[in-house]
Amino acid sequence: MVILGTFAFEEDFLAAARNLTASGFDNISLLSPLPLDEAQEVLGLGKSSPVRHFTLAGAIFGGIAGFAMAVATSLVFILPTGGRAIITIPPFLIITYEMTILFGVLFTLMGFHFVSGLPAWTDKPYLSSAGTDKFVVVVEGAAGAQVARAETIIRDAGAEEVRLEEDKQ
Amino acid sequence: MSQEENKSLFDHGQPTYAEVNEDILSVMLETGPKYWMLLGTMASIAGIFFFMPWFYQLIVGVGAAGMNRNAVWGSYLSNFIFWIGLSHSGTLLSAVLHITNSPWRKAIYRSAEAMTLFSLMTAALFVMVHLGRVWYVHWSFPIPNQMGLWPNFRSPLMFDVMAITTYLTASSIFIYMGSVPDFAAVRDASTGLRRRLYTIFSFGWRGTAREWHTLGWAYTFFAVLVIPLAVSVHSIVSWDFALSAVPGFHHTIFAPYFVCGAIYSGTAGIVTVMYCLRKFLGFERYIGQVHLDSLGKLLITLSLIWSYINVLELFSTWYGGTSFELEALSFRLTGFYAPAYWEMILFCAFVPMLMLTKKIRWSWNKMLVISILINIGMLTERFVIVATSQPRKFLPGAFGYYVPSWIEISITIGSFAIFATLFLIFIKWVPAISLYEVKETLKPLRRDA
């Protein structure tokens, strides 16, 4: 069973989330029209993100790949220029720099998708008011007495509306 | 953010969350005949002034442009630098202000980032136009081919290819990622095909705490990566010039000069775009005096830095005392193009000082005029650098003059129409103001608020 509680005020929404986690509900989602630090804290999302590992990996990979590409292309297509060295470090560092950033960005994008679980076009519990001006608490996987308990917690916190839906997954 | 700061961002009272969605999405979802007329006009101007002369040039060759043996670089490259410069408005400003957590950024950054993207596209078009045989453009990319040819990565032009490709990719991702929650809002507010499209665009975004948390961090990492990238892009563009031994080009100050000029012209561009957003899309409620005032102060600072670098360039040339550098300098200050040089100084060094008075800084009409004058000055600056240096190289026998042909002038005019067309398309596909970031600047939805 899925329980969706709609709130008009942030503090009610956060109180419901805190009470639900304190009561042992671990499969909850907090939907809001804007980022809320407190909501992230309730879920223990912390002050950093695994996305940073992707950024670092991408930057390292890009840097190595960029330098290797500049060296390799110079060696397979030798273009003597005024007696200068074929492998010239200063200009190749510029290519390295650009590729570091390019792959840093691309890997960050991958990291975002991986960590956030997006794209997720499957039919997940959602209320469109959460994209406008409401805060929605979603409790998934509740069964039996848990449903009534979750509903009570949400109502007691000041929910405007509580909906019960069948689990779709 | 304090209540005082909150209030100062909105001239006409704070909207509610629902009103933010309604106001901003209505611009996207409701389209009147005026919009189509404007779009049609801009697209027609782009076609007639940009693409038709370019097509003509493709048929007869680049000789149709005014470039010749004295000046093999002309207005196409000065336009290229100008548009690359303008592109520094959005991403750099947006990223810097995001990192420094400036609340006034939130209402204007989306359009500024769009400016970046479309300026870059326009700049890339100028490379194609300048190239002549555009169908060989893929030779500048490291693509395996049967001829065994590879790009020369020791050339500044290849630095450019890598830098601009990276910048275009990073800017596109930057603006797209920041728009994902707003695409979800469009999805929720629309029906039919549009709803299906925005379901795909929004990746199934629901606004969960985990999604916000991940987006926030990813966006910060993007910003951190994009700032040095933007600085490197215009530094690299400057090295197209500074790494050659041509008098007038060969200056060590060129990288900071170009970067400063780019941010300067980009910021002026933002003022122009903000004026249009307010005037024509009815965003007076979201783009207010505080934005104008902050941008005005930023422009004064950038103008002073830009002026300082100009003086420094003159001084170092004079102090160096090299005969050919002095000749190029004298030609720039007193020769054929002297009026253009002094116009640039007037528009970029003196006119912006008018903004020192609050009365001017707080007037949208006056700021619009100043922002346009600054960008005319900056376009002239790029032209002066290109046109007064190459035709004035070492041997007097090789001295000459470069005058743009009607094709180049037409293509220059057309490029502004291309930019306007792309921007007009953008405002119908992406919310021009970030919904969720504006909501962050509003009073929180609390009982006690």
pLDDT in tens, B263-290: 999 999 999 999 998 888 888 888 888 8
Domain that holds residue B100: 3-131+153-441
Do A122 and B203 make contact, defined as CB atoms within 8 angstroms?
no
3-state secondary structure of B417: helix
Amino acid at B336: F
pLDDT band at B11 (very low <50, low <70, confident <90, very high): low
- Picking from A48, A115, A126, the nearest residue to B206 by CB comes out as A126
Predicted pLDDT of residue B39: 95
Q: How many CB atoms lie within 10 A of CB B364?
A: 16
pLDDT for position B375? 94
Query: What is the C-alpha separation between B449 and B190, in angstroms, rounded?
Result: 31
pLDDT, averaged across chain B: 89
Strand partners, A165: A2
Tens of pLDDT, residues A103-145 = 999 999 999 999 998 888 877 888 889 888 899 999 988 888 8
Chain A 34-53, residues with CB within 8 Å of chain B CB atoms: 34-36, 39-40, 42-43, 45, 48-49, 51-52
Identify whether B183 is part of a domain. Answer: yes
Which of B145, B182, B183, B210 best tests the A interface by mutation, with the highest count of A CBs <10 A? Answer: B210
**Within-domain flag for B177:** yes
Considering the domain boundaries, does residue B145 fall inside one? no
Total of domains in chain B: 1
The domains of chain A, with CATH numbers, are 2-47+122-165 (3.30.70), 51-116 (no CATH)
Please answer yes or no on whether B210 and A116 come within 8 Å at the CB atom: yes
Q: CB contact, 8 Å: A160 with chain B?
A: no
Asked if A12 contacts A149 with a C-beta cutoff of 8 angstroms, the reply is: no
Residue A26: other Cβ atoms inside 10 A: 10
Which DSSP state fits B245? -
State the residue for tokens 């926030």. Answer: B216
The edge-to-edge listing of strands for the beta sheet with A28-31 is A28-31, A135-139, A2-7, A161-165
Side-chain half-sphere CA neighbours of B419 within 13 A: 29
Nearest 5°: CA angle at A54, between B211 and B176? 50
Asked, for residue B148, whether it belongs to a domain, the answer is no
A169: pLDDT confidence band, cut at 50, 70 and 90? low
Whole-model pTM: value is: 0.91
- Inter-chain contact B209–A124, Cβ cutoff 8 Å? no
pLDDT at B323 over 90: no
How would residue B445 be classed by pLDDT, with cut points 50, 70 and 90? confident
User: Which residues in A lie closer than 8 A to residue B207 (C-beta atoms)?
Assistant: 31-33, 130-131
Give the side-chain half-sphere CA count within 13 A for B365: 0
Give the DSSP letter string of A105-159. Answer: HHHHHHHHHHHHT----S-----GGGGTT-EEEEE-S--THHHHHHHHHHHHTT-
Of A31, A102, A108, the CB nearest to B222: A108
Query: Does residue B448 form part of some domain?
Result: no
Q: Is the pLDDT of residue B118 over 90?
A: yes
How far is residue B265 from each of residues A129, B92, B272, measured CA to CA in Å? 41, 12, 11
Residue B142 in domain:
no
**Residue among A1, A65, A6 nearest A30 (CA):** A6
Q: Residue B410 domain-assigned?
A: yes
B139 in a domain, yes or no? no
A137 interfaces chain B, CB cutoff of 8 Å: no
